[in-house]
Amino acid sequence: MGKTIVLTRRRNLIVAGLFTAASAVVAFWSATTLAAPNTRLSASCDIVFSSWFNYSELKNPFADKPADDELDGLVSTSVPFSLNSIYHAYSNGIFSWGDDGHTAVWYSPPLRGVLTFDHLHVSKSYKKWARKNTQNHEDQSHYITTPTGDKKPKYEVRFNTDFQQTVRNAFKAHSSASTDADAIDDLETWITSGYMESAFKLHRLGMAKSVEVWNNQTEQMVGGLYGFFIDGVFAGESMFSFEANTSKMAFYALVERLKAKGHTFIDIQQVIEPYEDEAGNQIEPGGVTFYLGGENIPRDDFLDRLRKQQSRRLPF
């Protein structure tokens, strides 16, 4: 009799567990399949599915792959893009620099790029531009333009309203080899179809975010950025601008948001510094993030910052 009761209770617990898991799967499927592609998924769905499916418990594909500093910190050319590979890469200071036509190429360079918020630089020219494009600018941040009263300004910053279009816009900007000084540092794109698919899935799980600048006159997205938000750390992936200064606007808005939540830095992978000859004459300018205040620090220092930030588990 006692054995029958124990078995019955055990069976009920198993059924209850299966029902909970099935409910989470149905909720996730409904949100990702039935919702329109550009619809922002509810935070509750992200939380339910992320807590039920813990990527940190899966096998780390980079565990036995140390960085080869003789090859700029190359980690692997054999691990394809997936939710699991991106999660474990970015939570361990590894990122992708394009692909070789077959699979992703992963790096952890000896020098890693960060933008510490205390070192953020806002140029005078940008401040002048922002004041011109902001109504009642005395009461507004000089970083972004925000609605004032009944009249909207020319630009508006939004978060996570159209992640897929943000990624596609970045792809469009980089695949055309833009030389716009307001674009991100690189000219060759790593945004492949496999990368996009994984990024979209991460967004549905709440681990990828977009910052978008919309032109209120044309109702078009004209600038923005996106990145992965994994274990409480934001790693910038790409920026783009179709109108002057709009990628900077997105970046400053991101910094303000993260600072308000207690964050202290953004992972920006690597910073391209100005190239000078032996006489000190500049031959090539630095990348955008350099002029925003970004810097390269030793990998060990970066990993130390990464672990400390991860332990705080701050929200986006």
Q: What is the pLDDT of residues 115-145, one digit of tens each?
A: 999 999 999 999 888 877 753 333 344 444 5
Lowest mean pLDDT among 41-45, 168-172, 201-205, 226-230: 41-45
> How much of the chain, in percent, has pLDDT values that exceed 70?
70
Determine how many CB atoms are found less than 10 A away from the CB of residue 161.
14
How would you classify the pairing of strands 233-241 and 220-230?
antiparallel
The pLDDT, as a whole number, for residue 127 is 86
State if pTM tops 0.95. no
Residue at 41: amino acid letter: L
- Return mean pLDDT, the chain: 78
The pLDDT, as a whole number, for residue 252 is 94
Lowest mean pLDDT among 48-57, 113-122, 221-230, 284-293: 48-57
Residues 42 and 203: their CA atoms lie apart, in Å, by 11
Residues 90 and 37: their CA atoms lie apart, in Å, by 25
Residue 210 binned pLDDT confidence (cut-offs 50, 70, 90): very high
Which residue in the block uniquely carries the two structure tokens 């360079």? Answer: 109
Residues 175 and 177: their CA atoms lie apart, in Å, by 5
Condensed to tens digits (0 to 9), the pLDDT of residues 68-102 reads 999 999 999 999 888 999 999 999 999 998 665 55
CB 247 within 8 A of CB 240: yes
